[in-house]
Amino acid sequence: MGCSTTATTWKAIFKRRAVAIALAVAAVAAILALPFWLVFLIPSLPVCLAVWFLGRKRVQWNKLDFLVLLAPYLAWMALGFVPNIPKSLSNAAVELFCLGLAVDLAPVIRLILPKGWNGKIIAATLLTLACAVAVGIYFTVPCLPE
């Protein structure tokens, strides 16, 4: 009995340590890319916060709903490592601003949909669509002059 408890304790410690390391790496990456994330947040954060606050009694928001402020941005940033697609800093400003405006639709749609629908499925679908919009914006906007 003691052996399985010890093994369970070590598994719990390892999981926590892995999560802490992942969060530290994400924090460092976010700090390095913070100026770009702010361009994304300027149009998206006010609308998202207003909808989340005003809709808190109608909708049970979950973690996936709040990831809409991070996941599309990370999807867009990951595409920056794709070779043979020239982009400039002007692209970053324009594309991230447009992506921020598009992300505003996810909480609004979530608020409009009927209450009886499964919230986790809706949130996951909207998060996936927001990431798909990020990919679409990245590939449709040509290289802009600086």
| Domain ranges within the chain, ordered by starting residue | 1-32, 34-140
Q: How far apart are the C-alpha atoms of 114 and 117, rounded to whole Å?
A: 6
pTM for the full predicted model: 0.72
CB 27 within 8 A of CB 37: no
Q: How confident is the model over 84-141, as pLDDT tens digits?
A: 778 888 888 888 888 888 888 888 888 888 878 888 888 899 999 999 999 999 999 8
Q: How confident is the model over 28-67, as pLDDT tens digits?
A: 766 666 677 777 888 888 888 888 888 888 888 888 888 8
CB 76 within 8 A of CB 134: yes
